[in-house]
Amino acid sequence: IRLMRLPVAEPAAEPGLVLIQVDGLSHTQFQRALARGKLPMLRRLIRREGYQAWPFYSGLPSSTPAVQGELFYGVKSAVPAFSFREPQSGRLVRMYEAEVAERIEQELRAQGAPLLEGGSVYSNVYTGGAAEVHFCAPVLRWGELLRALNPLALVILVLWHLASVIRVAGLMALEVVLAVVDFLRGCLAGRSVRKELKFIPARVVVSIVLRELATIGAVLDVARGLPVIHLNLLGYDEQAHRRGPSSRFAHWTLKGIDGCIRRIWRAARRARRRQYQVWIYSDHGQEGTLAYPLHTGRTIQQVVAELMPGAEVAAMGPLAYVYPPTPLADERKAALARQLVHAHAIPAVYYVHQNGGVRAVTTRGEFSIPDQAAEVLGEDHPFLPEVAHDLAVLCRHPYSGELILSGWAGHCPPISFPDESGAHAGPGPEETRGFALLPPGTCVPERVGKWLRPLDLREAALHALGRVPLRSGRRLIRPRPDPHGLRVMSYNVHGCVGSDGRLAPERVAHVIAQYDPDVVALQELQVPGLLGQPAEAATADGVSLPQRLQEIVEHLQRDFLYGSAIYWATDGFDNALVARRPLRVLRAGRLLPAADRPGQPVRGALWAEVEIAGQTLQILNTHLGHDARQRLAHIEELLGPEWLGGPRQRGPLVICGDLNSSPRGRVYRRLARRFRDVQVGLARYRARRTYSSRYPWVRIDHVFVSRHWDVVAVEVPRAELAVRASDHLPVVVDLRLAPAELAIIPPARAPVKGAEGAC
């Protein structure tokens, strides 16, 4: 970083975000690659880290410039396609032209705030307002950085990253061999030799060189602490265009992309300047297509020139825009559309009527859009209402042609107007259906149903960066086996100092948020405080809340109760309960030290009552010491008349805590005689160890329940964040009241209104 003279951010409490775009990978091909083992890192994120895979509707056109315009600036359908006629210059343009991309981005910037402000961006169409731009259409900046290096610094930089240099060289050599083999196959299949030769260097540069440089840059930016980083990995999209989205060569590139994601994700987890989230998404998919010139023997430009001499055609992909030399009357548009469909094998032609309505012409008839879109796109289109609306908007775009030719209709095989085997930009179900892979704890807009679109991802990203609160949102959590049950978490947070030695309360909060428990029992906050005082009472009396607990609760945005067990000398073993509903203290206090063990740290317990789902529940939280005789004395005290053995203990009870006792210990066995250990007796479940988080070797963190409960599920998370956030692993248990107990437990008072599950 110093050799390249790159600025470094100061450590910040604000979160960071890394957005990784896998260009052109549809949801279907993503699922297929997961099943075939091509994406082991993404599979790990789903299975172990709790990431959720969402269908991602691209909007129209289903192309990168439109998706990034909506994501970066909040503007839908920023351009009609990758190629169109620009009114300012009156010529056909392509979005990889620097001056064109810059002009379009200026228009976008006037309509919305940039998402990537202060961050960095790699291999994109737009800069997104990023401070550092690399390999994007408007700006190429890495060349400037490399020129700024002196020769000695450049040599040292190469030696420092020698392993990466060797890997890139090896991958390039392998890719060249595969490209030559692919070239020979393409020639034998009758494809153009000139185009196949041009594809070899393009394939090596895009699939290897650009991908590796972007990955190295993103890893450096994470280490520097930039607030937001976006990179676009193009290799799959490039291969899928040439050989088809389901081809072996296209799927081969996914293993390299998966490896890059693994390196970036690990760098984000090791980052010391910010707490990063890593989101992965694909902007669109691709349809497997027939090339129109191979299908009909003529190009679309030749067909249009025959029907409309002097007309221009912009055709990159399955959408072609026709710009006649003079405006066409409605009757002429309709006649040309019918001729193109019936005589020249165009699946669908759209045009805008003088009254503003959009008409579609297919072999099945003529239809109004969006009202009759199902007749054109099919009733089974996964995004039918949304894509119908966006199709009408696209046809009315000021840069669209008088006729819009579509290579996709629900009743026809897909075609693309250039010579390619995979295409996107149109309204097909595969090309409009990407994926978004988001970590648990992410807040998304409340309107989100079964899928996301770029605007939803933008709002979620702005919220994650702390820039704009969601007016109405919901948090993605790890799914509950019983939506109507109770979820409890017991967590020794080790003073919010993780296994890597970092003090980071926000990591603890994020682990909790991923599971969204109804009640959290926290041990070892290591902060002096008041026993059993509600947060409001503590602040009203002028007593400051413990900073670490305050940071956790502010992140969770819940009502809570803080209970300190003890603060003695330099040791603190404070306990806290955090709940989504108000808590009522039954007892909070110190446990008596053993008479023959003077000098042992004093321990405590917190016992409270909470009303959830119409029932009154009791929960006790404690953290016992390391001395065996003192632990046993404390358990006897907790089971005695002043605590759980007294008249106030009635109804469902949950006991949480770090007991510092394994299942072989006397303390554990004493509790197990009266209550049920949630990790024992559950079908198809083996008890998990909880300490230490990095290398668990003993089970000392426990949750016990009374006979009133049925245990539905138990989890001891081993996700990377949970491993790093504390030296203990949390215990998460899903409970439901046993049917026999529901009739005899008195219902609670009317529940207090709250923002359950709100972001």
- pLDDT tier at 478 (50, 70, 90 boundaries)? confident
pLDDT in tens, 586-602: 888 888 875 555 666 77
Q: What is the pLDDT of residue 534?
A: 40
Can you spell out the DSSP letters for 73-110? H--TT-SSSSEEEETTTTEEEETTSHHHHHHHHHHHHT
Burial tier of 87 (Cβ tally within 10 Å: 0-12, 13-18, 19+)? exposed
Q: Is the pLDDT of residue 143 over 80?
A: no
Q: Are 281 and 22 in contact (CB under 8 A)?
A: yes
The CA-to-CA distance between both ends of the chain, in Å, stands at: 36
Query: DSSP letter at 714?
Result: E
Q: Is the pLDDT of residue 247 over 50?
A: yes
| Domain 16-289+431-464: homologous superfamily in CATH | Alkaline Phosphatase, subunit A (3.40.720.10)
Q: Is the pLDDT of residue 5 over 80?
A: no
Q: Between 583 and 81, whose confidence is greater?
A: 81
Q: Please report the beta strands in 90-248, taking only residues with DSSP state E, as ranges in sequence order.
A: 91-94, 120-122, 132-134, 228-233
Q: What is the pLDDT of residue 543?
A: 34
Q: Between 420 and 168, whose confidence is greater?
A: 420
- pLDDT tier at 644 (50, 70, 90 boundaries)? very high
Q: What is the pLDDT of residue 197?
A: 63
Residue 597, Cβ neighbours under 10 Å: how many? 12
- pLDDT tier at 746 (50, 70, 90 boundaries)? very low
Q: What is the pLDDT of residue 692?
A: 93
Q: Return all residues near 269 (Cβ < 8 A) that are at least 6 apart.
A: 276, 720, 721, 724
Q: Between 357 and 484, whose confidence is greater?
A: 357
Mean pLDDT of 49-66: 96
- pLDDT tier at 567 (50, 70, 90 boundaries)? very low
The domain spans of the chain are 16-289+431-464, 290-419, 487-742
CA atoms lying within 13 Å on the CB side of residue 195 = 12
Q: Are 523 and 657 in contact (CB under 8 A)?
A: yes
Residue 516, Cβ neighbours under 10 Å: how many? 22
Q: Return all residues near 517 (Cβ < 8 A) that are at least 6 apart.
A: 487, 488, 489, 732
Q: What is the pLDDT of residue 158?
A: 63
Q: What is the pLDDT of residue 559?
A: 38
Mean pLDDT of 710-718: 96
Q: Are 272 and 502 in contact (CB under 8 A)?
A: yes
Identity of the highest mean pLDDT range in 192-196, 435-439, 496-500, 614-618: 435-439
pLDDT in tens, 505-523: 889 999 998 998 989 999 9
Q: What is the pLDDT of residue 464?
A: 92
Token pair in block for residue 621:
């939280």
Q: What is the mean pLDDT of the chain?
A: 86
Task: Report the CATH fold assignment for 487-742.
Answer: Deoxyribonuclease I; Chain A (3.60.10)
Q: What is the pLDDT of residue 199?
A: 56
Q: Is the pLDDT of residue 99 over 80?
A: yes
Q: Are 204 and 179 in contact (CB under 8 A)?
A: yes
- pLDDT tier at 8 (50, 70, 90 boundaries)? confident
Q: What is the pLDDT of residue 529?
A: 40
Q: Between 568 and 698, whose confidence is greater?
A: 698
- Lowest-confidence segment of 36-40, 127-131, 154-158, 446-450 by average pLDDT: 154-158
- Lowest-confidence segment of 355-364, 694-703, 747-756 by average pLDDT: 747-756
Q: What is the pLDDT of residue 156?
A: 62
- pLDDT tier at 542 (50, 70, 90 boundaries)? very low
